[in-house]
Structure 1
Amino acid sequence: MRDNGTVLLAGATGYLGGFITKELIVRSIPAELIVRNVEKGADLASENVKVIQAEVTRAETLKGLFENVSVVISIVGITRQKDGLSYMDVDYQANINLLEEAKKAGIKKFIYVSVINGPLHRNLKMLEAKEAFVDALKHSGLEYTVIRPNGFFSDMRDFLKMAEKGRVYLFGNGSQKINPVHGKDLAVVCVDAIEGGETEIAVGGPDILTHNEIGQMALLACGKPINIIHLPHWVRKLTLWAVRTFTSPRTYGPIEFFLTFMADDAIAPRYGGQRLSLFFQKEMDVIRKERMRELKHDFRSIF
């Protein structure tokens, strides 16, 4: 760890943030976690990890928090807008607030998690804001690393949701390829970047899979027969046009992102050892246990 400084992590209570926090703890790296809700982040605290309340969308709440901090890791961003905030409010401006405070405090390095192929899809609302911040980071004068995962295992839950209903819908012939990465593996890449010298890192999981193969895995995990429906791409394009025309960016942002990336390969350098098939099985085990608890509760309430 450079200069025995502290890592400041913004976005700690999200999917990836929890894994990064655990990786920092394993390596005994002192860290401060910025959270909006201290109670929500209380479970992340430890001997070397301090939880701090602040709102990254409000620059004034960040003042004075960067003392003794050497590296900032930001995974701040939204996939579905809430609290009336836009992508530009969070993915861009909130990160700009962090970057400006980092510059004032003389932070040595800023690590930011974006999306694979972001520069190629700047027209998407979700990526427009992210890439605007990447531009600002590159011109900040700070040492930086932009990490570009090509999809989380958690994103693949959409396949499970379809599979639970007995069928999976795909666009085209389903031959598009992707190697999504587990948050645990991605966290290792993020923490390694603290001492690394790369400015951009594209990262995916160990298995390159077609959409057909992912659909099959999801159906098998749900105990369903293989039933994959292939939709022509004109349906996808028509849906894109409709949501962009008749809904607001808050509504169509995540839909636009999903439909665009479902049409192309998204292959990144392979990393880690977590397997999607096992992730699906564990997810379904959790769902089944939860349903069993609900059934037992309903049964007891009857009698």
Structure 2
Amino acid sequence: MILVTGGTGFVGSHLVRRLVQEKIQTRCLVRKTSSLERLPRGIEVVYGDVNDKESLKKATEDVEAVIHLVGIILEHKGATFEIIHTQGTKNLVEASREAGVKRFIYVSALGSRENAQSRYHITKWQAEQDVIKSGMEYVILRPSIMIGERGTFITMLSNVIKKAPVVPIIGGDSKVQPIYVENTVDCLIKSLTERKTTNRIFEIAGPEQITYRQLFLTLMEALGVKKPTIDIPIWLMWLPAYILENVLDKPPITTQQLIMLQEDNICDIKEMQEVFNLKLVPLRDVLKKTPVAGIAEK
């Protein structure tokens, strides 16, 4: 039995579909407020939360491996990076260890480190430490930005491109290395059984390192949108972002995101390819083959 947390989310919905296809017995921990539309038939559902320890006891019963996907990019009351990433992972690690789980696979984020500038990356790193010290076999994946069907990142950028009379590009010179969500799923599936992955951390990313400006232009081309663009310096966004995150539940930009935009989100994929041997899908091909923000249905 495999336990997946975050199974109704972007990565999780792709993962559980593949697990069912592979005929791997799977259980999903979901909140009562979550929609189950993305879960295929054959998935066992347990209601709970990573910060509800009693529900974690039930969720981890008779489980051999855990794939932990739960994470947030926007904070709100009762759901900070510290509560979800650090404490939530700590709770799940403890429950898994007590239940006799043998293998724990955690999806962290590229850029996670002890001395990171953003709290997002620091809390992801803290979660990694609990996984590493758990005594269970572990695999930690640190993906760059993930793209694909139902991906919130590309959908958000697409909405900006479609609605704005002039397309604003913030932090345009920073580099990113988008990875197709199904390639991330490839890594997760292989991590369940491939011994070469045991007790290792892998930085995973796509085949292309591009700037955010290039990403916007590629997406505009895929959408068939021809508009002027304007580069906006990050420093000019600090005050608006601070105001927006203090008055809106879901601000379009936050100060934590601006901090992350100041650094490249790229890595060397040699080690990833040596172990996982992926057929990586380039950005343009992802935009052609998946209905990202309506692109493929044009």
Same fold (TM over 0.5): yes
CA contact (8 A) 2:234 2:258 kept: no
Are positions 1:75 and 2:76 aligned together?
no
Are positions 1:157 and 2:155 aligned together?
yes
Are positions 1:283 and 2:257 aligned together?
no
| Equivalent residues in 2 for 1:37-48, closer than 5 Å | 37=32, 40-41=35-36, 44-47=39-42
| Number of matched pairs | 280
Q: Distance in 2 between matches of 1:78 and 1:152?
A: 14
Moved more, 258-267 or 181-190: 258-267
CA contact (8 A) 2:30 2:47 kept: yes
Q: Distance in 1 between matches of 2:201 and 2:220?
A: 35
CA RMSD of aligned residues (A): 3.1
Please report how far the alpha carbon of residue 251 of structure 1 lies from its aligned counterpart in structure 2 after TM superposition. 7.3
Are positions 1:52 and 2:61 aligned together?
no
From 7, 11, 16, the counterpart of 2:6: 11
| Equivalent residues in 2 for 1:88-99, closer than 5 Å | 88-99=82-93
Query: Residue type of the partner of 2:19?
Result: L
CA contact (8 A) 1:41 1:51 kept: no
Gaps of 5+ in 1: 1-5, 290-303
> Which one has a larger percent helix, Structure 1 or Structure 2?
1
CA contact (8 A) 2:114 2:122 kept: no
Q: Distance in 2 between matches of 1:246 and 1:44?
A: 32
Q: Distance in 2 between matches of 1:131 and 1:41?
A: 30
Query: Residue type of the partner of 2:71?
Result: G
Which string of whole-angstrom CA distances, capped at 9 and with x for unpartnered residues, describes residues 71-98 of structure 1?
A: 1110112222346332222212222121
Specify the alignment match of 2:107 in structure 1.
113
Please report how far the alpha carbon of residue 202 of structure 1 lies from its aligned counterpart in structure 2 after TM superposition. 0.7
Q: Cα distance 1:245–1:159, how it changes in 2: closer, same or farther (>3 A)?
A: closer
Moved more, 251-260 or 8-17: 251-260
Query: Residue type of the partner of 1:29?
Result: I
Q: Cα distance 1:112–1:284, how it changes in 2: closer, same or farther (>3 A)?
A: closer
CA contact (8 A) 1:138 1:144 kept: yes
Gaps of 5+ in 2: none
TM-score by length of 1: 0.80
Q: Secondary structure at the match of 2:44?
A: strand
TM-score by length of 2: 0.81
CA contact (8 A) 2:57 2:95 kept: yes
Q: Secondary structure at the match of 2:264?
A: coil
CA contact (8 A) 1:42 1:51 kept: no
Please report how far the alpha carbon of residue 99 of structure 1 lies from its aligned counterpart in structure 2 after TM superposition. 0.7
Which string of whole-angstrom CA distances, capped at 9 and with x for unpartnered residues, describes residues 19-73 of structure 1?
A: 11112122221111111138722652434x3122222211012223323211111
Which string of whole-angstrom CA distances, capped at 9 and with x for unpartnered residues, describes residues 203-224 of structure 1?
A: 1123322222211122223322
CA contact (8 A) 1:171 1:231 kept: yes
Q: Cα distance 1:219–1:254, how it changes in 2: closer, same or farther (>3 A)?
A: closer
Q: Distance in 2 between matches of 1:19 and 1:35?
A: 15
